[in-house]
Chain A
Amino acid sequence: MSENYIIEMRNIRKEFPGIIANDNITLGLKKGEIHALLGENGAGKSTLMSILFGLYQPDQGSIFYNGKEVKIRNPNDATALKIGMVHQHFKLVEVFTVLDNIILGAEDSKFGFVTKKAARKKVEDLMERYHLHVDLDKRIDEISVGMQQRTEILKMLYRDCEILIFDEPTAVLTPQEIDELIKIIKNMAKEGKSILFISHKLNEIMSVSDVCTVLRKGKYIGTIKTSETTTTELAKMMVGRNVSFKVDKTKANPKEVIFKVKNLCVLDKTTKKNVVNNVSFEVRKGEIVAIAGIDGNGQSELVKAITGLDHSTSGTIEFNGVDITKKSIKERIELGMSHIPEDRHKHGLVLDFNLSENFVIQRYRNNEFSKLRRIFINFAARDKYAERLIDEYDVRSAEGISTVTRSMSGGNQQKAIVARELDRPHNFLLAVQPTRGLDVGAIESIHKKIIKDRDNGYGVLLVSLELDEVLNLADTIYVIYDGELVGKFENDNIAPEELGLYMAGGKRMDLEENKEE
């Protein structure tokens, strides 16, 4: 029956309290195949892979390795079966060199001393064979994210893994790095490695994989050859309805300037370097301005300075004609600033609060939600408001408005934040990675709402690492590199590769905005 599958997972079922994460899922992986695993947030992809890697035990179902049933109780068992995994967040020791990280846990020793000579030879051979070059003597904190990922891949190859699992490997990479990675993966498959590739990005799946298995809400939907399908069909399988990728939007109709940043600098206290360096730009009412860039080029610091979470060292921020550089967060909120934060757990939500409490976190003292001279909470008004937001923004949860947000899936947490920020009276929206980790269905709806915000005549500043998102939404695009704005584009027919060059620091233009007056 099993047509020479190297690994086969049959009828896997895994339950967590209150949730069926995997419901009767079957997956077969052939030798030398690139098998993609596609699904929305919370579809159970990661759970399934965690079961294969021995992090969870399935409640039902069995795993076959070369036709023989095996039990994988922990990651060591998985390694013994030559199964390796690159996690979404790398598991590397930052202060070790690349080589040390690769051999860590599998190092040779002589009289109790580590010997690296043979290991180095082996790693160098591997690098040659798979065209996967990394500087072995650099420390992890000195190399780029793409290089770190290569280190992770080498780690698996060094352990002679035959089955390689990639958990959303492209989430952190630039377009160029993604192309490289796809080449590497194809190369490895050619050498006979079998690859499982988790993603919710359809384009990647189309370009890299041979076969694709789709999960939806913990259920197995189907397995399909990628050569015989289209992105539209895959999206439909994944979401269960038709999805449009391009958000329809009319041409922007910008009016007066609502938000203006002039020569803004933020100094990093430890490195004594400007992490935001002389940044100037404007956002007008009725337009979406995007700041594109690779993670860690000063976006977070810029956002913190704009929102007041941190101080800027010099420069001015003007909002609605008021200089808000020194104003408190509360004053900025009262002036009409809405902010979808980058880190939904750190800033976006009080995880131990329920939905209804989280929805009013900026406005709990407003007359609307309090009574008796703002001393007491108006529970009735608050709950009614929360019910409306849940309905309108399709926030799904187990217990409605009294769901503790900690127990919700990441996607729904994000939807709750978006609901709060868009529904709050505002005239300027700062959206940082508004669709981080969301699936196409949710992305579509959030993008529509952001565009509606623009069409309502609000100013929108979008800070995103996803190039697709930037290209989809923005009217004007700035590229940030190393804390500086290095490019400005009007969004009509820009080639993503061109933007990629600016993002990677390969090119820059002189912006008028940067010039001192």
Chain B
Amino acid sequence: MEVDGKYIVGLRHSKLRDTSISVFSSVISAFIGLIVGFLLMLFAMIFTNGANAFAGLGIMFAGPFNGTYVALEFGNMIFYSVPIIFTGLSITLAYKTGLFNIGAPGQFFMGTLGCLLVALNINTVGNRFLGILVWILAIIVGLIFGMIWGSLAGLLKAFFGINEVIASIMLNWISANIVTWVFSLNSSIINSDAGKSGYLIKTAQTGNFSPSLGLDQLFSGGTSKSYLDIGIIFAILMCVIVWVLLNKTTIGYSMKACGSNREAAKYAGINDKKNIIFAMTFAGGLAALGGCFYFLNPNIEFAFNSAYQNLPAWGFNGIPVAFLANCHPLGVLVSALFVRYLNSSGTYLPVAGYNQYFADIIIAVIIYLSGFTRFFKERIDRFVLRREEKRAQASKEIEGVVAEVTSKKEPNAFVKFFINAKDYVVHLFNKIFKREKKTSENEVVVEKKEETEGGDK
């Protein structure tokens, strides 16, 4: 819809306020998600014996705090968020270029293949220095494998116009089969311990594992250490790098231009094909790093035998992580931790009589409702704008001069945002409860009253 008319001059948005509104809307959405999840739990009470929805919700909220050793739980929570940070970043980067990288699972697999082939076939037990060198080599090989795999979808899209979603889905399954096939030929790295079948050995056995930098010790409890290692540092670093790439560099600029309007980018002489290939290659590399850092941990083993049947959930989970963060690279870090936070309560849910997978349902609900973020953002934006307009008018009337509205002198946008946020909640509250009472005649009166209430501090 094209809106024509007059712009109200002076009502500039500050960037900080915009960001705060976005964050606030996400929080509202997530919160509503939790409420809906809670309702589901209430509903499930009918079927579950001795279930208690309040206790269940409490467990969901508590996340890692449920465990006896909170630090240990936190360490593992962070460790398990590493792969989805990387795949989330992969999805984010591609999405900004207008591509939907559903190929993250395949790229994740190729990264795993590359790094484990190196890390498990060279034995450096006893020589930690050599072990680190091999570890670095393993990551580089995994990265290259993933980048090649990502670039395939990019090349197909750029030169033959094949939709990257279809190409990536195919490539996912091809990679899944390659992984199983290659590892099954490489019998020296298959774990042949009694009772084990279909697993590879752990990197702990060859000495080429990720350094923990004492993080595992830091997050430990009782006699056990957490799995946390250097991966999270690389993950954070990568979030920053992707953010800088997208927002501060010329490459990021051209990628975003292609993403939001490929025709206009072409018109301006930007090589759209190059951008597509680059984005898919980089995205492939990111997803592959997720696989590398996950499986190079000394405690994790890879079930190669069933790989061809199941694509790794780590790859697909990057999608909700990215979209929960509204495809913001730094947000991906937060949303991945948030998802793992809720997920870590899963094992404790049976205490309240719920299946452990109930956590997944609630996460799914939250992610689904995160789609409403925009809905809330629009409403809050409109609400704030109206208020400022009204204030501007009020100050005009009082002082009899044209008010220089907020635009330039907005030093404390953050404080302001909280006032606005509070007022919006009050406004919503009023709306919900007043609506029930209203009759058709005094509809207008009630509306007016609400607004004045909202307008007062």
* Residues of chain A at the chain B interface (Cβ within 8 Å): 14, 16-23, 41-47, 217-218, 307, 309, 328-330, 332-334, 339, 341, 346-353, 357, 361-362, 364-365, 370, 374-377, 396-400, 402, 409-410
Contacts and interface: CB of A to CB of B under 8 A. Distances in A.
B47 interface: no
10 contacts: A18-B8, A23-B6, A43-B4, A47-B3, A47-B5, A329-B267, A349-B264, A377-B253, A398-B12, A399-B13
A362 B5 contact: no
A20 B5 CA distance: 6
Contacts of A397: 7
B381 A17 contact: yes
A158 to B, nearest CB: 28
A439 B4 CA distance: 13
B11 A361 contact: no
B434 interface: no
B250 interface: yes
Interface string B242-258: 00000011110110110
B50 interface: no
A348 B6 contact: no
B382 interface: yes
Contact of B266 (A17, A46, A309, A410): A309
Interface in B1-38: 2-9, 11-13, 15
Given A18-B11, A330-B271, A364 B5 contact: no
B7 A18 contact: yes
A347 B253 contact: no
Contact of A19 (B8, B260, B265): B8
A309 B250 contact: no
Contacts of B381: 17
Interface string B339-371: 000000000000000000000000000000000
A334 B268 CA distance: 11
B267 A309 contact: yes
Interface in B124-169: none
Contact of A42 (B4, B9, B267, B271): B4
Contact of B3 (A16, A329, A346, A347): A16
Given A19-B5, A347-B267, A350-B260, 17 more contacts: A19-B6, A20-B6, A21-B4, A45-B4, A47-B5, A217-B5, A309-B267, A328-B271, A329-B266, A329-B267, A329-B268, A349-B261, A349-B264, A357-B253, A362-B269, A364-B254, A365-B254
Contacts of A21: 3-6
Interface string B223-265: 0000000000000000000000000111101101100110111
A377 B245 CA distance: 10
Interface string B381-424: 11001000000000000000000000000000000000000000
B52 to A, nearest CB: 45
A475 B268 CA distance: 28
Contacts of B256: 350, 353
Contacts of A399: 12-13
A47 B4 contact: yes
A294 to B, nearest CB: 24
Contacts of A352: 260-261
B4 A20 contact: no
A400 B12 contact: yes
A17 B389 CA distance: 11
Interface of B: 2-9, 11-13, 15, 248-251, 253-254, 256-257, 260-261, 263-271, 381-382, 385
B55 to A, nearest CB: 44
Contact of A347 (B2, B249, B264, B382): B264
Contacts of A17: 381-382, 385
A122 B403 CA distance: 61
List the 9 shortest-distance A-B pairs measured between CB atoms, nearest first.
A21-B5, A330-B269, A42-B4, A19-B5, A361-B268, A347-B267, A352-B260, A398-B7, A350-B261
A346 B7 contact: no
Contacts of A14: 5
A21 B270 CA distance: 37
Contacts of B15: 402
A332 to B, nearest CB: 8
A132 to B, nearest CB: 30
Contacts of B254: 364-365
B3 to A, nearest CB: 4
A349 B260 CA distance: 10
B5 A218 contact: yes
Nearest to B247: A377
A347 B269 CA distance: 11
Contacts of B261: 346, 349-352
B253 A19 contact: no
Contacts of B9: 398
A399 B248 CA distance: 21
A397 B12 CA distance: 10
Contacts of B4: 19, 21, 41-47, 409-410
A21 B382 CA distance: 16
Contact of B264 (A46, A346, A374): A346
A328 B13 contact: no
Contacts of A346: 261, 263-264
Contacts of B257: 350, 353, 361
Contacts of B268: 329, 333, 361-362
Contacts of A409: 2-4
A352 B269 CA distance: 18
Contact of B250 (A19, A347, A365): A365
Contacts of A20: 5-6, 8
A362 B257 CA distance: 11
Contacts of A309: 266-267
B260 A217 contact: no
A398 B264 contact: no
Contacts of B267: 307, 309, 329, 339, 341, 347-348
A343 to B, nearest CB: 8
B221 to A, nearest CB: 44
A16 B269 contact: no
Nearest to A379: B248
B66 to A, nearest CB: 43
A412 B15 CA distance: 23
Contacts of B250: 364-365, 370, 374-377
B253 A364 contact: yes
B269 A398 contact: no
A42 to B, nearest CB: 4
A365 B253 CA distance: 9
A17 B383 CA distance: 9
Nearest to B252: A377
